[in-house]
Every structure is written in structure tokens, then in C-alpha cells.
Amino acid sequence: MPKRIKPLSEVKVRTAKPMEKEYKLFDGDGLYLLITPTGGKLWRYKYRIGKKDDAKHKTLAFGAYPDVSLQDARKKRDDARKLLTGGIDPAVERKAQKQAAIEEGETFEVVAREWHNKFKPRWKESHAERIMGRLERDIFPFIGKKPISHIKAREVLTVLQRIEGRGANELAHRAKALCSNVFCYAIATSRIEHDPTAGLKGALTPVSTINRAAIIDPAGVGQLLRAIDAYKGSFVVQCALKFAPLTFVRPGELRKAEWSEINLEAAEWNIPGIKMKMKEALLVPLSRQAIEILTAIKPLTGAGQYVFPGRTAERPMSENAILVALRTMGYAKDEMSGHGFRAMARTLIDEKLQIRPDLIEHQLGHAVRDPLGRAYNRTQHLPERKKMMQTWADYLDSLKADAKVISFKKIN
């Protein structure tokens, strides 16, 4: 009598680790989880179809965990077994259902709206509206009515090139990522097998960096932060170097910071509009790490006007002080610049911490407008921005410690 397979548990599925070679975890009645060397967890159902002497062994894919849970995979298996009992090949039935779905209009727009509805509860309302607006303006009019399984890379590229043609290069890159999210969702829900945007790498015009060198690789950022900690030059310059990535203000705003603008008790730095590029006052929430730097330097410079003074207390730090320090630490002009701390923050907070872009842009001192077209004021979204700045400071600490960092969830 064959040994009965012990069913899988949710904990065993969740904690399964990849090995050098792929392996299987069996749940019973033909259902198993395939663990790939890259960490993929793929549900598979093995079955036989046909008469005993001519039976064929076949395998059906049920999607990937965690998009398809253990409970979902078991239901798919049970449904397939019912079809087999009736003499129907579940693979043939699935193919017929896919074709029927196409004929009934399972288009890119239908799948995209389904994806949007699934993830909308996790987003801020304004972010969800912005995503749907981008789909409705730039993508649905061109490929929205096409069956998602029929869309080719060339068709997506044509859509993205239309956006580029308006001079909106960065928006074209964001639209590509948005399409990829929809296609990946379609893969997870067994609508398609491949993401057509995967073949478009390098097809779009790179976004201009305006010659402002920046380190945006997490490992490189960690190395830079450790180099700053080991800097042997002026203590004032070292404090400014530590403060720069935590606040990511413009170099001129950093070196001209005044003690009268700092409120240590409230953990805020109020930069007056006269010092800002856009002539709008900016409130910079200060993380715990930023307060520690200010507390350390205050006994040295607190009696004067500037937080980071130059050779005399009456003048701010030199424009070249940060650049010279970076060169002293071995960073060439095409590797890192004083302005690069802003690009570093803009990229990593967006890509790694997945925080709303409008919060990041507002904190960068850029012109940002609310859904009604009104300019954000200096205190708008302050609780969210405070949380963002502390999350960012903690992330930098983890990079400096060379920790293995897992992407943060959206803070809202």
C-alpha cells in the first residue's frame, strides 16, 4: 500500500527556502509546490488522462505563491479532478476558457482595472487616482481594448514612444513600469505566460541627469556613508556630509543653514522662501539621526549664525567644501556630487521604500500640486513626511551597516 503524503501547511509553504537545485513539496492528489533555485514557488498539478494502457502524464500550472495561496491551489486541483472524473482534460478546458475570455473581452483594460482594484486599498487615494489617470490618458486609448494575451512588445513600445514624443521621457519610463505591473498580474492570474515589456530594456531614451553625478546603488550608498564616518578632515564638513543625505536639500540650502531656522525640540528645520530655488518656504522634518548630528555640532557652532560655518563664524561653509571632501575620500566628479544626495534620495525612497512620489517631490522643494491644482504649502502632509524622513534615515543606517535590506512597505 503506497505511503500517504502528509498535506502541506501554510507555514511550510511560506518558509520553504531555495536550494541549489529545484525541488518539490507534495500536498497530495497530484498537487505539489515547485521551489526553484531563484526562490520561485510554483504550484503544479500532475495528472493522467486517457485509458489505462494509453494514459498520458501531464502537468498543469496553477500560478505562483503567494499570489496563489495553498487554499487557492487546492481548489484549482479539486476543480481539475472533477473535470477528469467527467473525462475532460483540464488543460484543454483551460485553453478553451482562455479563448472564451478573449472573445468576451478579457482585454488589457479589464485586467488593468482588476489589478488597480486589488491594490487600491493599499494606496493613498491621490496615488490611486494618479495611476488610473495615467492608464486612462496614455495607455487604454491605444491597447486597452486588445486581448491582453495578444499584446506584443512592439505595440507597447509604440504607446511609450507616443509619450516620449511629447518630451515626457520620465513619464514614458513610469508608464512602462505601470504596464509591466499589469502584465505581471496577468501572469500571476494565469492569463498570459510572459511580460512583453521585459524585452524593451534600453528601448526608451534615458532620463537626463544634467551632469549631477549621484550614487543610487544601495551597496554604493552604504560604502559612501561608511567613508563619511571615516573622514579625517574638518569636523564641520564631516557633520555637513552626514547631514546631507538625511535631509537631501540643495547644496546652497545646506551650507547656509542657520541655527535660528532649527527647532531641535520640534525636530524641524524651517528654510525661508528667500533661500529656496522656487522661492517657497520649506519645512524639513528632522529624523532622530539628524538631531544627533546637530546636537553634536552645536557646542562648536551654536553660538554663531550658521550651523556649518566656513573659516570664520560670520560666513557659511564654502561652496567647494563638500566637493573637496568627496574627492579626498576618493570619489571622482563623475561618481558623486553635492547635489547627488538629492538624486540618491529621490531614487531610493521611490524604488526601495515605495513611498508616494508627491511626498518625495514636495520634500525636495519641487513645485507639487494637489488634485485640485493648488500648490502644497510648507506644512501639508507633515505627519507623512516626518514618517518618511525617519524611515529614510533608518534605511540609510541599515545600508551603512551593510545589512541585507528588504524593501519597505508603503508608509500609507
In this prediction, residue 369 carries a pLDDT of 59
pLDDT of residue 66: 85
> Which residues of the chain register pLDDT less than 70?
1-4, 98-105, 208-212, 367-378, 403-412
Q: Name the nearest CA neighbour of 361 among 170, 138, 135, 115.
A: 170
Q: Which superfamily, per CATH, for 10-87? A: Integrase, DNA-binding domain (3.30.160.390)
- Give me the pLDDT at residue 167, please: 78
All 3 cell numbers of residue 107?
Answer: 482585454
Reported CATH class of domain 108-200: mainly alpha
- CATH match of 218-400 with 1.10.260.40: no
Instruction: Please tell me the predicted confidence (pLDDT) of residue 410.
Output: 40
Query: What pLDDT, on the 0 to 100 scale, is given for residue 123?
Result: 78
pLDDT of residue 321: 92
SS3 label, residue 42: strand
- CA dist 362 and 310 (Å) reads 29
Residue boundaries of the structural domains of the chain: 10-87, 108-200, 218-400
Which residue, chain included where needed, has cell 510554483? 42
Find, among 330, 297, 92, the residue nearest to 223 by Cα. 330
67 within 8 A of 59, measured Cβ to Cβ: no
Tell me the catalytic residues: 250, 277, 339, 342, 366, 376
Q: What pLDDT, on the 0 to 100 scale, is given for residue 375? A: 59
Q: For position 252, what pLDDT does the model report? A: 92
3-state secondary structure 164-186: HHCCCHHHHHHHHHHHHHHHHHH
Question: In the prediction, which pLDDT does 207 show?
Answer: 72
Task: Give the per-residue SS3 of 316-348.
Answer: ECCCCHHHHHHHHCCCCCCCCCCCHHHHHHHHH
- pLDDT at res. 408: 39
Contacts with 99 (C-beta within 8 Å, 6 or more apart), sequence order = none
**CB-based contact 196:183 (threshold 8 Å):** yes
